[in-house]
A and B are shown apart, each in its own frame.
Chain A
Amino acid sequence: MPKKRDAKKINFTSIAEVPTMPMSLGSMLWNKTGTWRNIRPEIKLEDCIQCGICWKFCPDMSILIENEWPVVDYDFCKGCGICAEECPAKCIVMVEERK
């Protein structure tokens, strides 16, 4: 089961806080790439055959496996549509994002 993802942005207040060697201090999880999306994938779980192909081909690691079922992480899904295209049971549909 994937644990809850934390996200924080690093703000340096003074020059003394900046490390002398350029090194990474945090992950990119603050960057919610879900806002890039025009169409969103929706999984009809009643047709799902649990093959894991959507999970395997997701370039944004935003299909999570929770309790043996695929779940879309809408915080990071960029809406490329690979999962809907590759799903052998055709149970993922891309619907227009509205807000």
Chain B
Amino acid sequence: MSKEKKMKLSLPTEELVGSGNLACQGCGATLAMRYFLKALGPKTVLCIPACCWSVIDGPYPYSCLGVPVHHSAFETAASTATGVKAGLQMTGDNETTVVAWGGDGGTFDIGLQALSGAAERNDDIIYVCYDNEAYMNTGIQRSSATPLGAWTTTTPVKFFKDQPKKDIDAIMAAHRIPYQATASISYPEDVYKKAKKAKDVKGTRFLHIYAPCPTGWKSRPEDTIKLGRMVVQNCIFPLFEVEHGEKYTLTMKPANKKPIDDYLKLQGRFRHLKPETIKVMQEAVDHEWTRLLKLCENR
């Protein structure tokens, strides 16, 4: 303890997510919210549909968040945020950022029409999807964000999911929204930078944050950060941003692309997979990665 050194922290120390929340051990969604709110600051309104975060926040009359929260119905996160923004503008408040914060079920499946509507109207909101690849809150049911081969309670081992994950980023790029990005919780500075950038853009912004879930993925809680890092290094979930649906920029290019086996081994939901299925998955990942590289090159 003799060293006298100033601690250098890469993020601001202000915390808007409080302790005592109801998240599971090693929750990735809590980290996503923590980094995101560090970037946006206290002048933010959150609209949360039914998702893990509507539970993590705490029961009435408590809330662990330092910003106002509006709990909405499952399918209406984006339209609620639109309404809150319109209401704030009527009172003359143009500064407050309105955020719709949904899980992957509320974004990929149930809330897709509201999100598409908001993106088409180009309403001035940020839509954040934290992606834990199933309906974790209600008991690990399959969603359209669940990757190929994964176990869930509605796609048991014998009949594991054999459809690939829905490409929500391409859907949002087709709406030509001003700014959209993907991020992973294992790169907090990257999440912070992208959230800051989204805050300054006007129009509909879409952030897709990868948030590992130890409970649903049957992984160890301490591997949360490792999984979030591996998924980027293995090019399963590349980090990129898109402006106006056309200008693709790769923000994190892995030095050497690793095979996906290590990533699958850490998770109990992929334990049943046979080598031939893993080979098919690896080919699909390679295909998507070359497709993305092409998009980033000829922009």
Say yes or no for B42: interface residue by CB 8 A criterion: no
A19 and B10 alpha carbons, distance in the complex (Å)? 41
Q: Do A52 and B19 have beta carbons less than 8 Å apart? A: no
State the total of A-B contacts with C-beta under 8 angstroms. Answer: 120
> How far is the CB of B46 from the nearest CB of chain A, in Å?
12
Size category of the A interface is 35 or more
Contacts of B90 in A (CB 8 A): none
Closest to B28 in A: A59
Stretch of B60-68, B97-105, B126-134, B252-260 at the chain-chain interface: B60-68
Say yes or no for B222: interface residue by CB 8 A criterion: yes
Say yes or no for B268: interface residue by CB 8 A criterion: no
Say yes or no for B6: interface residue by CB 8 A criterion: yes
**Given A59-B31, A79-B25, residue A28 in contact with residue B63 (CB < 8 A):** yes
Q: Do B20 and A32 have beta carbons less than 8 Å apart? A: yes
Contacts of B226 in A (CB 8 A): 85
Q: Do A61 and B34 have beta carbons less than 8 Å apart? A: yes
Q: Do B223 and A85 have beta carbons less than 8 Å apart? A: yes
Which listed residue (A24, A30, A31, A82) contacts B224, Cβ 8 A? A82
Say yes or no for A98: interface residue by CB 8 A criterion: no
Which listed residue (B3, B17, B31, B62) contacts A10, Cβ 8 A? B62
**Given A28-B62, A29-B20, A46-B1, residue A85 in contact with residue B31 (CB < 8 A):** no
Query: Which residues of chain B have a CB within 8 Å of any CB of chain A?
Result: 1, 3, 5-11, 13, 15, 17-23, 25-28, 30-31, 34, 58, 60-64, 69, 188, 214, 220-226
Besides the known contacts A27-B20, A30-B62, 13 further A-B residue pairs in the complex with CB atoms under 8 A apart: A27-B18, A28-B20, A50-B7, A52-B10, A59-B23, A59-B28, A59-B31, A65-B13, A68-B7, A78-B25, A79-B25, A80-B222, A84-B222
Those 7 A-B pairs whose CB atoms lie nearest each other, nearest first: A24-B63, A81-B222, A80-B26, A76-B19, A28-B20, A80-B221, A28-B64
